[in-house]
């Protein structure tokens, strides 16, 4: 049995064993989804918004909340790495006759499965509240896949910090420090055209913005291949910047 599969399974089993962690990272976005869609509905659910093509303010909120869920899970991926270092499990893996890469791949794959599941939960709750994906199953799949890709990039950053610091508190603080601005400096809560120029400028270099915009379009309007390609390119660049650093940190930690 390939080590990557074994380790993916092990990481997923761990998630199931401490479901509070998985639930906690999806509970926050769900609370926000309900709260913001209610409190801002009068202010935001306007003909102006609908004129731009959005079905509802709720529909606009959904992709951002999916992104929040996967970024939290990415952060937990880093925390799990610190925990494996502390518990001695990483050392156990290092003295096993398996490829070093399978240790990292096992984590990424388990994270991705968790992220897709969390995205689906957010979409499901939104559906219960009356939002539906206009682009159907294909659009739903696209949204889940794109948020999971972003989540893996986020997990790469969290693991980089975790492997360099070997400190759970620091990973946590750094993760939250990155996650919330990534969400607020994006169209997650309001279309970018209603936001100040500087926010628009920052959003242009924020990979989360691209994923959220694609999601919002898939929720309400329809697919735009040009936008999809732009998003994939931005995610690829982010991955190319981050992942070599993470792999290098991992190599340094595992020789």
Give the binding site for another protein (CB under 8 A): 1, 3, 6, 10, 13-14, 17-18, 82, 84-89, 91-98, 166-169, 255
Which tokens is 220 given?
């309400």
Q: How far is the CB of 166 from another protein (least distance, A)?
A: 6
Q: Between residues 80 and 214, which has the closer beta carbon with respect to another protein? A: 80
Shortest reach from residue 156's CB to another protein, in Å: 21
CB nearer another protein, residue 2 or residue 244: 2
CB of 80 to another protein, least distance (A): 10
- As measured in angstroms, the least distance from the Cβ of 99 to another protein is 9
* DSSP codes, 145-183: HHHHHHHHHHHHHHHHHHHHH--HHHHHHHHHHHHHHHH
Residue ranges of the alpha helices (H) in the chain? 3-17, 19-39, 41-44, 47-51, 57-87, 89-94, 100-128, 136-165, 168-184, 197-204, 207-220, 225-254
The least CB distance from residue 76 to another protein, in Å, is 13
Can you tell me the distance from the alpha carbon of 21 to that of 77, in angstroms, rounded to the nearest whole number? 11
Q: How far apart are CA 222 and CA 236, in angstroms?
A: 23
The residue among 176, 143, 146, 142 whose CA lies nearest residue 158 is 176
**Cβ neighbourhood burial of 170 (10 Å; 0-12, 13-18, 19+):** middle
Round to whole Å and give the CA distance between 66 and 229: 20
The rounded distance, in Å, linking the Cα atoms of 164 and 241 is 16
Q: Which of residues 11 and 209 has its CB atom nearest to another protein in the complex?
A: 11
Q: Which is nearer to another protein, 95 or 128 (CB)?
A: 95
- Smallest separation, CB 222 to another protein (Å): 43
CB of 20 to another protein, least distance (A): 12
């Amino acid at each position: 049995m390939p080590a990557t599969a074994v380790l993916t399974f092990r990481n997923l089993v761990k998630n199931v064993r401490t479901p509070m962690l998985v639930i906690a990272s999806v509970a926050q976005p769900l609370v926000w989804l309900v709260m913001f869609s209610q409190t801002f509905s009068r202010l935001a659910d306007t003909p102006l918004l609908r004129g731009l093509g959005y079905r509802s303010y709720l529909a606009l909120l959904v992709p951002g909340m999916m992104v929040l869920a996967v970024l939290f899970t990415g952060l937990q991926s880093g925390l799990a790495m610190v925990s494996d270092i502390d518990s001695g499990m990483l050392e156990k893996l290092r003295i096993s006759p398996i490829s070093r890469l399978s240790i990292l791949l096992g984590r990424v794959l388990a994270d991705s499965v968790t992220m897709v599941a969390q995205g689906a939960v957010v979409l499901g709750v939104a559906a219960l509240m009356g939002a539906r994906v206009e682009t159907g199953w294909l659009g739903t799949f696209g949204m889940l896949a794109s948020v999971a890709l972003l989540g893996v990039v986020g997990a790469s950053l969290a693991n980089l910090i975790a492997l360099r610091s070997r400190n759970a508190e620091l990973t946590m603080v750094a993760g939250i420090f990155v996650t919330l601005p990534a969400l607020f400096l994006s169209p997650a809560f309001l279309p970018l055209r209603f936001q100040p120029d500087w926010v628009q400028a920052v959003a242009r270099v924020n990979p989360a913005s691209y994923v959220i915009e694609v999601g919002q379009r898939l929720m309400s309007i329809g697919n735009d291949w040009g936008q999809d390609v732009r998003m994939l390119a931005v995610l690829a660049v982010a991955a190319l910047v981050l992942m070599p650093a993470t792999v290098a940190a991992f190599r340094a930690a595992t020789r």
